[in-house]
């Protein structure tokens, strides 16, 4: 079952993969609509065929073929044609079946409500006018059937009409729920993507400056409320400009990524690691005393000094060191920026005292 779901999802995402914009919903909804119509069309055709109802079976085979054409058009990129084809094909099919086989008492024409759900997502980009047009088209078709279709036909009994009404209701609900599900899932994914863009540093995949500072504010506020300690550390790669100058910017980027990886791997649970800018990084350590913060940073400094960064095309690995400044919240700290400023002063001391070291600011 899960394998089937996986393949269905893959098919639905055909030609929509890797596009995170609003288009994604639209393409997926169109693909799903055609796939479902194809499955329902084929199943119905087989059922009718088995029961010896040749005309009905043929109509459903034609419906399945049209669904397949719509799906093919959609994945080939004929987006507009494929989207327009569905309402027309769907309305024609409903009119045809109601007039010829089921009669309006079967309520089969209520299947037209799926066109409303379809129009909202399928014609989202075109906007209100196109959506209204599709809904209006569904309404006119509905009225046409109600006015002119025979109430009953010789083909279906009372029981069959009830069954058709139930199936129509179930199919409409399923399609609407499916479409809403796709939209919500995609919006959630889009939301996550946008949050990533706003909070994650593209190169190192660490939190960016905005995010890590936001966390610094939270940690600072929690520390005040809970009367706890917290420490901030600022890390700066030593002589990083030399690496760029000697090996090029790309190698510099690789070094930054390796450096970020070591920081992430060595961060304790609950610590926030982020890129402050350039080759400077911040670590926010909640509920931590300066003694423990220094020992964590000392361990990290050694890990970085021991790091051998292999670069393609270079025989010898690159080694880097880092200077680290650490500061702790004090009783008279009123704003989180004060801790950061003191950590920055400590970093300055670390640079002046020979680099590759951890310094603290206890003032
Ligand atoms: N490759 C790469 N380089 C960057 C990036 N961001 C900043 N840099 C470089 O980092 C270097 C920082 O140089 P400096 O501020 O002089 O510091 P430094 O050479 O590390 O020297 P000290 O900090 O004094 O040890 C500059 O050459 C910037 O161009 C980046 O994203 N990628």
- The residue whose CA is least distant from atom 15 of ligand 1 is 241
Please provide the average confidence, as pLDDT, over all residues in the chain: 88
The predicted model gives 194-201 an average pLDDT of: 93
Give the list of residues 6+ apart from residue 240 with CB closer than 8 angstroms, or none. Answer: 252, 255, 279, 320
The predicted model gives 339-350 an average pLDDT of: 97
Say if residue 302's pLDDT is above 60.
Answer: yes
pTM as predicted: 0.67
Say if residue 23's pLDDT is above 60.
Answer: no
**Closest ligand 1 atom to 236 CA:** 23
- pLDDT given at position 121: 75
- The residue whose CA is least distant from atom 30 of ligand 1 is 278
- pLDDT given at position 296: 96
Region for 142 from its dihedrals, namely left if φ exceeds 0, alpha if ψ lies in -120 to 50, beta otherwise: alpha
Residues of the chain with CATH 3.30.70.270: 209-361
CA of 240 relative to ligand 1 center, distance in Å: 5
Residue 244 Cβ < 6 Å to ligand 1 = yes
Say if residue 233's pLDDT is above 70.
Answer: yes
ipTM value? 0.96
CA of 322 relative to ligand 1 center, distance in Å: 12
Residue that is written with structure tokens 């994650």 in the block = 200
- pLDDT given at position 65: 95
Taking CA atoms, 151 is separated from 124, 169, 262, in Å, by 36, 18, 74
Residue 41 Cβ < 6 Å to ligand 1 = no
What digits encode the pLDDT tens for the residues 32-83?
A: 888 888 988 899 889 888 988 888 889 889 999 999 999 999 888 888 888 8
CB 249 within 8 A of CB 185: no
Binned at pLDDT 50, 70 and 90, residue 255 comes out as very high
Taking CA atoms, 24 is separated from 189, 202, 213, 234, in Å, by 11, 23, 33, 41
Say if residue 105's pLDDT is above 90.
Answer: no
The token pair at 335 is: 């704003």
Residue 241 Cβ < 6 Å to ligand 1 = yes
CB 340 within 8 A of CB 232: yes
Q: At what angle do helices 249-266 and 240-247 cross, to 10 degrees?
A: 140
Residue that is written with structure tokens 């799926």 in the block = 114
What digits encode the pLDDT tens for the residues 164-187?
A: 888 888 888 887 887 777 778 878
Binned at pLDDT 50, 70 and 90, residue 300 comes out as very high
Which CATH architecture does the domain made up of 209-361 adopt? 2-Layer Sandwich (3.30)
CA of 30 relative to ligand 1 center, distance in Å: 49
Q: Of 102 and 120, which is predicted with more confidence? A: 102
């Amino acid at each position: 079952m899960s394998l089937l779901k996986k393949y269905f999802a893959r098919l639905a995402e055909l030609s929509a993969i890797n596009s995170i914009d609003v288009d994604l919903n639209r393409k997926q909804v169109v693909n799903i609509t055609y796939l479902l119509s194809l499955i329902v069309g084929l199943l119905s055709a087989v059922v009718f065929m088995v029961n010896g109802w040749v005309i009905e079976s043929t109509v459903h085979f034609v419906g399945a073929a049209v669904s397949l054409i719509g799906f093919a058009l959609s994945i080939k990129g004929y987006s507009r044609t494929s989207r327009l084809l569905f309402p027309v094909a769907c309305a024609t099919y409903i009119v045809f079946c109601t007039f010829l086989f089921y009669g309006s008492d079967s309520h089969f024409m209520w299947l037209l409500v799926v066109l409303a759900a379809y129009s909202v997502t399928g014609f989202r980009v075109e906007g209100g006018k196109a959506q209204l047009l599709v809904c209006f088209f569904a309404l006119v078709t509905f009225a046409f059937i109600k006015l002119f279709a025979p109430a009953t036909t010789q083909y279906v009994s009372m029981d069959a009409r009830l069954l058709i009404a139930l199936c129509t209701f179930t199919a409409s609900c399923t399609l609407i729920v499916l479409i809403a599900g796709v939209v919500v899932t995609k919006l959630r994914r889009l939301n996550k993507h946008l949050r990533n863009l706003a909070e994650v540093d593209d190169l190192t995949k660490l939190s960016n400056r905005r995010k890590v500072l936001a966390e610094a504010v939270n940690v600072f506020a929690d520390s005040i409320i809970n009367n706890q300690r917290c420490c901030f550390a600022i890390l700066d790669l030593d002589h990083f400009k030399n690496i760029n100058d000697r090996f090029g910017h790309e190698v510099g980027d690789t070094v930054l990524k390796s450096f970020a990886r070591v920081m992430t791997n060595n961060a304790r649970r609950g610590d926030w690691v982020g890129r402050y800018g350039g080759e400077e990084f911040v670590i926010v350590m909640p509920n931590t005393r300066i003694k423990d913060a220094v020992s964590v940073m000392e361990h990290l400094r050694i890990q970085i000094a021991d790091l051998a960064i292999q670069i393609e095309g270079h025989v010898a690995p690159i080694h880097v060191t880092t200077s680290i400044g650490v500061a702790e919240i004090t009783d008279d700290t009123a704003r989180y920026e004060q801790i950061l400023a003191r950590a920055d002063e400590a970093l300055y001391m670390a640079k002046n005292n020979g680099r590759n070291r951890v310094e603290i600011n206890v003032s």
